[in-house]
Structure 1
Amino acid sequence: MNFSLLSREARLKSPGSRQISPPPAAPADAPAPAEASAPETPKSPTAPAAPRAAGGRLAALDGLRFIAAAIVMLHHFVIAPYAWGIGEPQRLFDSTLVVVSGYGWLGVEFFFLISGFVICMSSWGRSIGQFVTSRITRLYPAYWAAIVVTTLIVYTVAEGKGVSAVSVWDRLLNLTMLQEPLGAPAVDAVYWTLWVELRFYLLFAIVVWRGVTYQRVIVFCALWMTAATLATAIDNRTLEILLIPESAPFFIAGIAFFLMRRNGPTLLLWGIVAFAFAFSQHSVIARQESTEWMMHHNMPSWPTHALVTLFYVVMAVLALGYLDRIRYPWLTTLGALTFPVYLIHCEAGWALIIALRGRFNPHLVVFMVMLWVLVVAWLIHVLVEKRVAPRLSTGLKRAFATMPKD
């Protein structure tokens, strides 16, 4: 099986695409878990909504993050032809499962929407050093572990197929998470979304550097949306790389939803969300067309529009506090597994499916590989993230605190 078929340009435009063969997915940095506040009612109808007091963890947000990862994984395991062959998923799987999994690439857009919410929430009151530290410790330990796991699985189970185009030095470069802008192949298909997230962090770091305030975040959203629109209109590749217009509306809407949660909804915030919603409904169709070509699977566009609408509605319900009563502890556990699940499921999952597909029922194969992903993700969370992240955080904080000012 040779995955080195598609161009780097296709990877950038299609959800879950890979360096060697592009599918969709794409968390996605799956947004990090964060704490949110409980709603506080303004004292009078005319008074502005006060910032909501600090509260407990948003279990519902953890659940939504895991759902986004799960539907991306389902998409890659069922409909993607790289594990089953072109046209085979439609023959092997239940027709309903094929239809549902066909739209799983939209989990990436849901990731980006959630990420805007989470990054704005977790950056409030932080210095630029704290912001950088939190992002590095959140992303890199699990990412490094995922590269090791994926490489081991592909070379032991699939005899190197799928990453044969990735040299030792390119795999070393992958550890920096900067292989995409440098034009090097990625170890796993889904890593393209990390480059999208990194650019979002870079843009939002400007706000953090100045100090996160309500007004500055509003101005940031307005300027970013305007600039992203202009970048698309003038077809300037450099600006498109910097401003990520195809993903910007999801991040911006997520930011606006957090402002609603923190300060209460206003006409201005709803206007930002409405603008982002219209923009995202336009840009997502280009993503669908690219995905259809890669997956050899055509889909009507109305479910795409309906699902994007559903994502916005769910985030609005979350922002307005209607999901605060959902506090199941197991959702927090699922939320913690989301990022490792996303990072390890694709390339390693395909390798395992190829190894098992001739021995078991296809539905059972998908179930077994999903179970394997969950177990390994839990091990990465417990053995790597919980142990490495605190030490990395301590070291980075010390480095920033002792950094010379001249």
Structure 2
Amino acid sequence: MLRLENNCRVGNFTVFPSNWKTVRANVNLIWKIKFRFYDDNTGQVKQIVVKGMNSYATLKEKRDATQALLENERSLIVDQLYNPITEQFFNREPEAQISTTTEFTKALDFALERVKAGKETMDNLRSIVAYIKKAAEALKYSQLPISAIRIKHLTLLLEKCGELKKKSIIVVSKRKGKTKKGVWTSNTFNQYRAHLGMLFKILKKMEVCEANYPLEMDKETTVKKIRETLTPAQRQEVNDVIMKKDRNFWRFLHIFFHSGSRITEILSVKAANVDIEKQRFKVLVKKGKQYKEEYRTIKTLVLPLWEELINESKPDEYIFHRRLKPGGKKPIRRDQITRRWLQHVKQPLGITADFYSLKHSNTTETVELLSESDAASHNGHTTTAMVRKIYDVNNKQRQLERLKGIDNKFA
């Protein structure tokens, strides 16, 4: 039994079968990692069972996945002080002082404690810092003073992160233990660069480094792919399949499609935020440093679905919670939606467009039926730039059709 800083305890991490590290381990059994977690703040106890390694067929893959999952659980519980009962991370008291002689990795921890960002960004930052620490250890940079870190160090660190990620097995779902093989692309590099820039911005303010070196690094060239959306036939198929298999998800799909909102914004709406009479709902928009409340329109087309939700809800409940029904004291995660899309649409129907493409489709149709400014207003944008550049997938095609008809003869 190990006592943790967050006034919790954790039992031994055990793996079934016990001979999982040997060549005699039976790959056909249902493998599992088990441990008990005790929250002495509330008196609650929870047994954690992780079975994600069973998606692998060969003994080597299953062992590698088990090792990755075991290390991930230990890191989450012991190092990062994650509480699986409250589903919250415990914030250690940050180091009171920092100076130019503070070790590089400790300086990153100092900055990480002071970043103000949404949950998804913070999860990404924690993951990135964990990889940077592994790379720093491999390159003997961990104990370098933060003031000594330059672009050359960061360049080598990101190269090492790429090597480590390509060799790793990534835990996709913390609780269900789902894994995938790690990848490193130009997009990954740019994401690491941007997130490190958030940390160095804080360190620069503390006057322990001379510049925000990550942002002085050149971005890697990426290919901006054409946004894939559902065809009319696919939309009908998706509608019929989801209606039959999971009506609550079907209801969420229709409300999201017509909302002009992000997935996380819709998942954060409480019944008290909805005004059925005025056909509007309030969302908290988190963009950059600014958080602001905005009203979004409830289309008459989906008003009955909103009324249905409100009739099932208490004022302080989220309209979409577990099983996408009203309830709960905190919003569910975004991956509850993307996971359902994978399960009901991508895998069985062979459709490759992602769930968020629905927002692009609705925006495009709003532009065609009304105008760019109406589409921008519906999505909560202050200008039409985002609509034109990102969401209106037919913008280039309409421009192409106009250009085809230019009648400027040479002679």
TM over 0.5: no
TM-score tier after normalising by the smaller chain length: under 0.3
More helix by percentage = 1
More strand by percentage = 2
Rg comparison, structure with higher value: 2
